[in-house]
Structure 1
Amino acid sequence: MARTLRRPNFEIYAYVIVTIPDYQILKIFEQVAGGQEMMLVDGNGRIMAHAQRERMGERPTYLKEGSLNAQIVKIGEDEYLVSSRKLSVKDWRLVMLTPYEDAVHKLKTIFQSVFVIQLIAYAVFLLLLILLIRTFTRPLVRLGKLAHTVQRGNLEVRSYIQGSDEIGRLGSSFDQMLDRIKQMIHEITMEQSRKRKAELAMLQAQINPHFLFNVLNSIRMKVHRKGDQESAEMLLSLSRLLRMTIGHEDESVTLHEEVSTLIDYVNLMNLRQKEKAQLHVDIAAEAMFAQVPRFCLQPFIENALIHGLRQQSGTISLSARQAAPRTLEIVLRDDGAGMDEETLRKLRSNLTMAGAFQEEADLTPKGLRFTGIGTANVYERLRLRFGEAFVLIIDSEEGAGTTITMRVPLQEAGDPHV
């Protein structure tokens, strides 16, 4: 290799020449050949360096100028893979001659090695995947077995699965659900036990009412045989009123039964006062057997007798008719003292208060009430049962009496109750 040295005016003043002894190149060929034939050729295809010195200067036909970088040639009976690389020294090339079978064998060996490595990597990946899936699914399998155990009736088992992930939360929720179910079963068991005790107590308590009814009937028959018809009628009214009060379990009765109770109640109240009040009843035929809540009219009759008529003579009118296809209208009037605007406003306010179970102590003298069911109580009970469909209107004028209008949705016997 040579290079010129020039002055600033481009005048050549020296040459640098570097030479490499051929034996050093041959030594390199021997070290890296590895059973392959290596040579250095010039641009004319002439061998410039070869491990076999006698071949230097030859011009093999397969090394003609312009040949491809890699090709398969046949030398004698054998095939060789010829690969070459162009050097930066003029147009010289470094050529390697490899037996084709050796090259193919090496490629096959590489392919087999790569295939074995891929197979091993796939097996390791599959094994890791199975272990990972089993790690994730083991709690779910445990929960499945636990659910099957619970299905057989064992509520004492628990999963005890902890964690902040979805499976941990699912296990914790499952355990909490079992605890809640066990608690509910205990509560239901206790409730059923209390219910059985209450039923027994109720059965025992029924002896006294029946005994009382029988005694009252016996007394009434004796009074009737002695000719005291009025006292016998009073005892009959008392017996029927008590039977309606403590002898019925149904929440609803027919309007006919409710009115019969009101008549008995008025008859008994007339015994307590000097002057008798009159109850006029006008019930339309289509409304006679309509279902109404028990004791929905008695508090209003009681207020009419005590507050309106003030336990003096007077008239209470009760009428009922079907105002709409599914609405029963009940109107209750008295010709008593009535109420001033302030008292009426206060009563209406009490009725519209949510949960207003009030005793009306400011309106009702103590000791004069037959039952503890107040007007506000009845209003709230009907509102809870019928909702917005129930309407109660109270109109009153001082000195002119009070009018109460109720609109109750019609219901058939056996309808569900609230």
Structure 2
Amino acid sequence: MYTLMILMPMLVVTFFGFQTYSSNMKERASDFSLELLNQLGKNVDHYFNELDRISLTFSMDSGVEKALLPSGKSAFEQYQDKMMIDKALMDIVLVPFQDVIGTYFINPNGDIFSRYGSGQQVDYGNFRNESWYKEALEAEGKGVLIPTYYLRSIEGREELSFSFVRSLIDVSKNQSAGIFRMDISLNGLSEVFSSVGGGTEQELLIVDSQGHIIYDRDKSKITQMFPITLEQESGSIVKRIDGKEVMISYVTAPFSGMKIANIIELSELTRNVDILRNLLWTLTGVALFLSIGLSVFLTRRLLLPLKKMKSLMNKVENGDYSVQFKAQSNDEIGKLAGSFNHMVRKINELVHHIFVIRILKRDADFKVLQSKINPHFLYNTLESISMKAEVDNNYEVADMISRLGRLFRMTINHDKELILLAKEMEYVENYVSIQKIRFPNLSFIVDIEPEVMKSYILPWTIQPLVENAIIHGLAPHNHEGSIYIKAALVDKDVVIRIMDNGKGMSEEKRRDIQAQLLTNIDKDDDQIHIGLKNIFDRIRYYFGDRYGLVILSGEQGIGTTIEIRMKYLKEEGEPLAEYHGH
């Protein structure tokens, strides 16, 4: 994944960058070639204009015009005519261009006049059957360029050259007065092309309207046909020729109508691009190597700790909660390790807590089952005594026994973990009503909000405290006094206070009892401590550490206030308060 994240952008940038650069390079090369060819076309046109001007100079020469006057001349006059034509032909050979191979004039009688420059004599005796002669006559006085060919002298020597012919028109008769021909070597065109730069890697050619190559710089394609048809005035196209992809740019020379073409291999154009491409691919390869190394490094750095943590998780699944992951850094893996260790510790504590609760519950269930035998027997016995008291008209005793029987029945029939506060208060009121028969001066006041009455609490948490208040608080006062029970909802908790105005206790004893509740120190011979400890432990184990029982006041002679706090539960199956650790 890391490799792809690094490699893909580089590949995309490399590919599109290369394509864009290559396209721009081709466009610039095309523009440069067209500009160069336009300049070259102007030079070629200038050269052919000079050839046309020379042919016109010959036709307008006064000696030539005189020599072309009608026949009927003497032999001397004919000799003079010949001399004037020869002189005009020689002037052309010697003066304008050093690359003129030879000049010729053929009159209507078939007489051939010739002068030679850099070349040797060529036999044109069969001129009437030559295509160039017919083309010159058909041009009616216009110059005709004969494409490049191999010129063969009478000595048998061949030389690449091209020719320029023109028919001299007798205006009075509107017919040809003779044909002027000029054979020219390629030296002049070579000089024209040598004046234009562009390097040796490109081909520069001149193509006529029929597609013949009349000149190329290395002279290897002269007389051949150009590989494609150049239909437009100018342009640049990319073609595959002889297995090579080339760019062909061309323009049309305005005067001569010749196509000046440039052929260059694309590999030459993109040589620098190829260097750049190779550099980019090299950098991509280096980046790929580094990304693979980075990927391996990060994978080992990330996956090895995770695999080790997975192994520890498997141990936790199998019940080993003592494992801990030792982090080597403070990065995300280190933070994850800290969270894992904290989770395992909390699970271990919770499992231990649940285990303790189950042991306590199992022990309590056993004791309840065991204790139900005697209360059940006692309940049935009390019912028999109550019936006997009623028979003897001792109704007060019968009422006491009946109330005690109902209290035992409630004890026998209740086996749930939670009970409505209203039901718990019913137990308390039954117990107090029995005590009032014995102690008529006992005052019992209850102040509980209706909403709190509908909450669920642990059973037998209020009645033992009321019993302690009567036996240990009010008994020294001949059981005269009051017990006040107040319950309210405080911060989503049920807070219940049991207050009496009895004997009370010293501050030292209050602290001693509270300390025993917190430090698991029991005094087996003190029933006060046993009852309080039982209520305290049951509340804390069921609801959590922040719940329990607190002795708020206990001054000697003033009375005692005990407060119990449990989570407010609207339904019996509602989740308990968050576990705070045991």
- Taking structure 1 as the reference length, the TM-score comes to 0.44
- Greater relative contact order (CA < 8 Å, ≥ 6 in sequence): 2
Asked which structure has the greater CA Rg, the reply is: 2
